[in-house]
Structure 1
Amino acid sequence: MGMRDEIQAEMAEAFDDPDGLADAVKPVAGARKVDGEYDPGTGTAPEVTTTYGGRGVFGSYLAKEIDGSLIQTTDEKLLILQNELLITVDGVPTAMIAVPKIGDIIGGKRALNVSQDPVGATWTIQLRK
């Protein structure tokens, strides 16, 4: 088992542990709208929505991180396990791992920044209304 797998297993355990993070873990639902394939019959590329879901911990930024521009007081920080963020089809999770992107709508808020830890176990996403 590599470092990434170990971190994800330990984080999942902490997410499930009633004495750990279980009370802070919330469902996460995200969506991204992109242009689909061009339809020569209509002359348009219909919009396609990709949805994904998982679970994560929503938090706030430390006062020293808030600069009023890049990070505002109302911004939220979301931590998600990469292996639990799955693309959904008709509300059912698939086996495909989702990769969140800037501009996605997650929990009704727009993703402004998406980063991952050095071993690729978690996503940290900055969200703003």
Structure 2
Amino acid sequence: MGMREEIQADMAEAFDDPDGLADAVKPVAGVRKVPGEYDPETGTAPEVVTTYGGRGVFGSYLAKEIDGSLIQTTDEKLLVLQSELFITLLGEATAEIATPKVGDIVGGKRALNVGQDPAGATWTIQLRV
């Protein structure tokens, strides 16, 4: 088992542990809307919508991280396991892992920044209303 898989297994265990993070873990739903290919017959580029879901821990930023510009007091920090964030079709998770992007709407808030840990096990997403 590689480092990434080990971290993901440990984090999943912590997410499930009633003495760990279980009470803080919430469902995560994300939506990405992008213009599709231009259709010359209709003269439009229909929107392509991708939805994804998983679970994660929502938190806040430390006071020393808040600068009022890049990070505001109302911003939220979301930690999600990469191995548990799946694209959904008709409300059902597929086997395809989702990659969140800046501009996605996650939990009703816009993703401003998306990063991952060095092992590629978790996503950290900055959210703003």
TM-score class, shorter: over 0.9
- How does 1:33-112 map onto structure 2 within 5 Å? 33-112=33-112
Q: RMSD over aligned Cα, in angstroms?
A: 0.6
Count of aligned pairs: 129
Distance 1:89 1:81 in 2: 20
Task: Report SS of the residue matched to 2:100.
Answer: coil
Partner in structure 1 of residue 116 of structure 2: 116
Deviation of 1:35 (Å): 1.2
Distance 1:70 1:37 in 2: 33
Task: Report SS of the residue matched to 1:99.
Answer: coil
Distance 1:38 1:17 in 2: 48
* Structure 1 unaligned spans of 5+: none
Residue identity matched to 1:8: Q
Partner in structure 2 of residue 18 of structure 1: 18
Deviation of 1:37 (Å): 2.4
* Structure 2 unaligned spans of 5+: none
Distance 1:35 1:74 in 2: 29
Moved over 6 A (4+): none
Distance 1:98 1:16 in 2: 21
Deviation of 1:9 (Å): 0.2
TM-score of the two chains, using structure 1 as the length reference: 0.98
